[in-house]
Amino acid sequence: MATPPQLTPEQRAAALAKAAEARAARADIKARLKMGSMSLQEALDSDDQNVGKLKVVSMLESLPGVGKVKARRVMEEIGIADNRRVQGLGAQQRAALLQQLG
């Protein structure tokens, strides 16, 4: 396995700040889904890179009335892998999610 590149302290700090910013953005998206200020349709249609990087199971669990069991069951019925991210969903998978949960 290759070793990671050696970063200067400034590069490391910048990378850590960028990662923290991305985590905060994804947490905000999940909070908006949970509160209902963002719908599943809006999340799936969004061009936001942070939405695309979000795992599908995490997004579904953030929806009101959907827990861990229901999210995984819906994904299994549609044929979405547990590790799939929103940006990797196909058009039919998005439509099936909206039909079942939208």
* Pair 41, 102: CB distance under 8 Å: yes
On whether the pTM is more than 0.85, the answer is no
pLDDT (0 to 100) of residue 5: 81
- pLDDT at position 15, please? 93
Q: Compute the distance between CA of residue 102 and CA of residue 96 in angstroms, rounded to an integer.
A: 9
Q: Are 48 and 42 in contact (CB under 8 A)?
A: no
Structure tokens at 70: 């229901």
pLDDT lower than 70: segments of the chain: 1, 102
Domains of the chain and any CATH numbers: 13-101 (1.10.8.50)
